[in-house]
């Protein structure tokens, strides 16, 4: 699975959340100043070439839907993050989150309890 650029990922998030979707709907959800229609259309076509989306044509209108589930991309992204920045250690990631105060004791306890429930 290919990695997405920041812009591609932003557009892909909208497609995952709102599919089926057309380019004008994507543009409407973007903050001002709005990019040109041609720019967003180009990004969506790149996503299609990368195998992330497909479309159905209704005249000149293309309706886009995801081919790659969000969960699959999330798993790949997290694995890459752990490998590239934490030497392949999920516990190093958790330690980092604790040190940076991005996760608190209650959340850690909730995760531990969830792991116990899943056993």
Which CATH number do you get for residue 79?
Answer: 1.10.4040
Residues 56 and 77 in one domain: no
Give the relative orientation of helices 70-85 and 90-99 as an angle to the nearest 10 degrees.
Answer: 80
Query: Which run of H or of E encompasses 60?
Result: none
User: pTM of this prediction?
Assistant: 0.82
C-alpha 57/C-alpha 54 separation (Å) is: 10
Counted residue by residue, the chain has a size of 119
- Residue range 103-113: mean pLDDT, rounded: 90
Q: Which domain holds residue 78?
A: 70-118
Residues 6 or more apart whose Cβ sits within 8 Å of residue 104? none
Torsion of CA 65, 70, 72, 78, to 10 degrees: 150
pLDDT digits (tens, 9 = 90+) for 29-56: 999 999 999 999 999 999 999 999 999 9
Report yes or no on 107 lying in a domain: yes
Residue 4 phi, psi dihedral angles, 5° rounding: -95, 150
Residues 36 and 61 in one domain: yes
Quote the percentage of the chain above a pLDDT of 90.
85
| CA angle at 31 for the pair 27 and 33, rounded to the nearest 5° | 85
């Amino acid at each position: 699975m290919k990695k997405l650029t920041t812009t591609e990922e932003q557009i892909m998030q909208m497609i995952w959340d709102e599919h089926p979707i057309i380019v004008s709907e994507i543009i409407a959800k973007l903050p001002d100043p709005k990019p040109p229609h041609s720019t967003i259309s180009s990004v969506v076509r790149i996503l299609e070439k990368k195998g992330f989306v497909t479309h159905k044509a209704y005249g000149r209108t293309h309706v886009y839907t995801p081919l790659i589930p969000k969960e699959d991309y999330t798993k790949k992204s997290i694995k890459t993050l752990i490998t590239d920045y934490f030497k392949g250690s999920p516990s190093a990631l958790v330690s980092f989150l604790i040190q940076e105060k991005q996760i608190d004791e209650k959340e850690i306890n909730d995760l531990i309890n969830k792991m116990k429930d899943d056993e």
